[in-house]
Amino acid sequence: MPSSMTPPGPMTDAVDDRDDLVFADEADHASPSSIPAAGAPACASASWRILVVDDDADVHSTTTFALKGVEMQGRPLEFLHAYSSEEARDILAREPGIAVVLLDVVMERPDAGLQLVRRIREELGLIEVRIILRTGQPGYAPELEAIRGYDINDYRTKSELTRTKLYTAVAAAVRSYEQLRALAASRAGLEHILSAGAQLMALHGVVDAARGVLRQLATLLGRPEAGVLCVRESAHGRPDSVHVIAAAGAHALLAGSELDGAEHASVKQAVRRTLEQRRRLDGDGWLTLHFPGKAGRDFAACIPFERPVGELECRLLDVFASVAAVSLENVELVTHLNQAAFRDQLTGLPNRTRLVELIDAILASPRRDAATLAIVDLDHFAETNDALGHHFGDLLLVAVGRRLEERLKACPDERLEVARIGGDIFCVLGDAAVVQPARIAALFREPFRIDGQDVLVSSTLGLVRLLGHDGSGADALKDADIALKRAKSQQRAGHFYFSRSMGVEIRERVRMMHALRSGFQRGELFLAYQPQVDLATSRPFGAEALLRWRTEDGRMIGPDRFIPIAEYSGLIVDIGEWVLRQALAELVRLRAGGHRDFTMSVNVSQVQFRHPHFVDMLRRALEDTGAPADYVELEITESMAMEEPALLVEKLAQVKRTGVSIAIDDFGTGFSSLSHLQRLQVDRLKIDRTFVTEITGSARGSSIAEMVIQLGRNLGLSVIAEGVEDERQAHILRSLGCPLAQGFLFSRPLSPEALLEWLGNQAIIEAA
């Protein structure tokens, strides 16, 4: 017998015709349809499917007759019939949406009904279907434990099942089934929304995220993917044009376009209405969702939807909209962060971080053999920026970036990247045939038109060939920068290619800089003191404090190597203060040892001397050590004395007010102006050792030394010669009238202890 047909047979007396059927109250309780898919409601006209399982055909007939024409919650009943537990099992396995099973307990076996219940729950996994047990043999009634254990909805004997009671039992079972289905649909919908949120967050870019929203929305509603997702950016509270980010189905061609035109008027109207009311809407064949964004940038999805939206659907759609809004906002935020992290905000070109990635990619590919990296530095851009304003300068930078991109990429196949890595510095990365100094320089021969003005700028280039590069992208950029500095030191508007020897030189300098910093902290630096004597009497009157460096392994590194590095790194400021304090402390110890008429001479670096707090530091050192300023001399170089005369005069005046005297070291090696020299408040000139060395073998050397001595005499300045190594040099200096000297002839630089001993020996010699 077909399971979907009511079986033939006479009516039996089991039906109590005295019971009136009143269903009005039941029908008034109609609720939203359940959602069998992930939130997709069943058709509103669908019936409740009731499976009658009994081996007695009369039971099938009377059950069908008793419930004939009945509606429950606005939906009719549809009956399916099975005459054994096996037949019922097959029907349940293939027929979806069965709400209630009216099940005989005793059929082919006494426990056939209970065994079928177990198979329904455990084997078929049908949890929502409600089961009403019926038996015509009360002695076979299951125990309460069995009813609870097998999840049975109701149990009745056939004799007590009047039409009213049968209706009541079935109606209660239908309500229970619907509630379970709604809970399952809600749970499935929420699980899908959570999964959708995670999937949307994993997407890259707003376009991909928008496509994902349409895809997930279609899945949630159990419909084919269709519709559009749009964005509107508001300006001053007025709606701007609506842009379609993603589209699917019949509207797929709208993706990437503006939502306008008569043929799309209904879609546009639905989207506009949702964006204006900022909420979910449905009607006129459309369902629209609103996704609020930041800074007036709102999103809306619009999909074709003909039927009314159920209550459960509304709740799920609102949750989905909030999740999707967060996902779209986060994707936008990540996109903006990526833009900020890898793009220059002014020109839109790749920035330093992105450029390093591009270089690394080329270094890992066969392209490295023909690739060149060039740093392009605009000459005198700071002056242009200061003279014409920062806005003008920004426009010029944008124009330069655009010209580099457009002109160098003459062919679409040219694999070339232009980046801005900071300030007025651009980079060009590509094949050597394109990245050529002459080709880049030619781009700057034509003026840039900025705000109606023609501006000519030149550029200096530092280049590195990636073929011979064995480091990372960051290292290649450093090498190009080294080449740029070399090019700028030679001439502007030129270029220089990086060479391995340049890299070795720079890396050695950096290595020594770190070693010097560490060595200074570990106490590897120390002072040696070279005595200064009166040439006429050979009597010592002072000493020059000389900085020395002995590394942990005992190697001595000359000051001509490490002092320029200390100046370049700025470490000389800290080292110079330490030297001054050490020398002053030694002066105090010497005075305590009886050598009270003794001067300590200390060299001062140009970087140190120009430091804004140098004079304050000098005063603190004098106060902290207790050294007498009258017996302290600072040595500055001649080239240093000639730079920025006005500033130097003021700084020297401040130093002189502390009581400290000033000597000009290496005098004669520069180009001093006599008028300027007269303005400087200096006390002593030092003849450079070069002229002292030449004094015995060159008339020129002797004449320069003689002129310095004469100049000092005329200006009322003391004169001292350094680097005196033999008696003949000393004799000539005496004959020229030089009063003071220092050098190996008298003593090598000494440790503090050796200096004290040497001074003691000299005192003994004088006394003898």
Instruction: Supply the DSSP symbol for 307.
Output: S
Provide the pLDDT for residue 702: 66
Inform me whether the pLDDT recorded for 540 exceeds 50: yes
CB-CB neighbours of 177 under 10 Å:
21
Label residue 20 by pLDDT band (50, 70, 90): very low
Label residue 757 by pLDDT band (50, 70, 90): very high
Provide the pLDDT for residue 730: 93
Place of tokens 């064949």: 285
d(CA 325, CA 292): 6
Per DSSP bridges, beta strands 71-72 and 48-53 are unpaired
Provide the pLDDT for residue 42: 38
CATH 3.40.50.720 fits 24-186, yes or no: no
Degrees (nearest 5) of the Cα angle 37, 39, 45?
75
User: Mean pLDDT, to the nearest integer, of 52-75?
Assistant: 86
d(CA 618, CA 662): 13
Residues 350/424, Cβ–Cβ less than 8 Å: no
Inform me whether the pLDDT recorded for 673 exceeds 70: no
Bridge partners for 476 per DSSP = none
Residues 257/244, Cβ–Cβ less than 8 Å: yes
The 3-class SS string of 185-211 reads HHHHHHHHHHHHHHHHHCCCCHHHHHH
203-342 to CATH, choices 3.40.50.300, 3.90.1150.10, 3.40.50.720, 3.30.450.40: 3.30.450.40
Provide the pLDDT for residue 316: 77
Label residue 748 by pLDDT band (50, 70, 90): very high
- DSSP H/E element including 665: strand 661-667
- CA–CA distances in Å: residue 724 to residues 438, 540, 546, 704: 54, 14, 16, 15
DSSP for 142-177, written as a single string: PPHHHHHHTT-SEEEEGGG--HHHHHHHHHHHHHHH
Residue 108, C-beta contacts closer than 8 angstroms, at least 6 positions apart: 55, 84, 85
Query: Mean pLDDT across the chain, nearest whole number?
Result: 81
Fold that domain 526-767 belongs to in CATH: TIM Barrel (3.20.20)
**Domain extents in the chain:** 24-186, 203-342, 352-498, 526-767
Architecture (CATH level 2) of domain 352-498: 2-Layer Sandwich (3.30)
Provide the pLDDT for residue 195: 67
At 696 the three-state DSSP class reads helix
Comparing CA positions, the residue from 673, 705, 675 lying closest to residue 689 is: 705
Label residue 647 by pLDDT band (50, 70, 90): confident
d(CA 230, CA 260): 12
For 312-339, write each residue's pLDDT tens digit: 778 778 777 777 777 777 777 777 766 7
Greater model confidence, 34 or 434: 434
**Could you tell me the two tokens for 182?**
């709604």
Burial of 51 (0-12, 13-18, 19+ CB in 10 A): buried
